[in-house]
Chains A and B, each alone.
Chain A
Amino acid sequence: GENVEQHPSTLSVQEGDSAVIKCTYSDSASNYFPWYKQELGKRPQLIIDIRSNVGEKKDQRIAVTLNKTAKHFSLHITETQPEDSAVYFCACNSGGSNYKLTFGKGTLLTVNP
Chain B
Amino acid sequence: DAGITQSPRHKVTETGTPVTLRCHQTENHRYMYWYRQDPGHGLRLIHYSYGVKDTDKGEVSDGYSVSRSKTEDFLLTLESATSSQTSVYFCAISEQGAEAFFGQGTRLTVV
Residues of A within 8 A of B (CB): 1, 6, 32, 34, 43-46, 49, 89, 91, 93, 98-106
Contact = CB atoms under 8 A, between A and B. Distances in A.
Interface of B: 30-31, 33, 35, 40-45, 48, 50, 58-59, 90, 94-97, 99-105
The 7 closest A-B pairs by CB, nearest first: A105-B42, A98-B97, A43-B102, A103-B43, A98-B96, A99-B31, A106-B42
A6 B43 CA distance: 12
A2 to B, nearest CB: 9
A39 to B, nearest CB: 12
A44 B97 contact: no
A98 B101 CA distance: 15
A98 B94 CA distance: 10
A4 to B, nearest CB: 8
Contacts of A100: 33, 45, 48, 58
A43 B99 contact: no
A101 B43 CA distance: 10
A93 B31 CA distance: 13
A6 B40 CA distance: 11
20 contacts: A6-B42, A34-B99, A34-B100, A43-B104, A44-B90, A45-B102, A49-B99, A93-B97, A98-B96, A99-B30, A99-B94, A99-B96, A100-B48, A100-B58, A101-B45, A101-B100, A102-B45, A103-B44, A105-B40, A105-B42
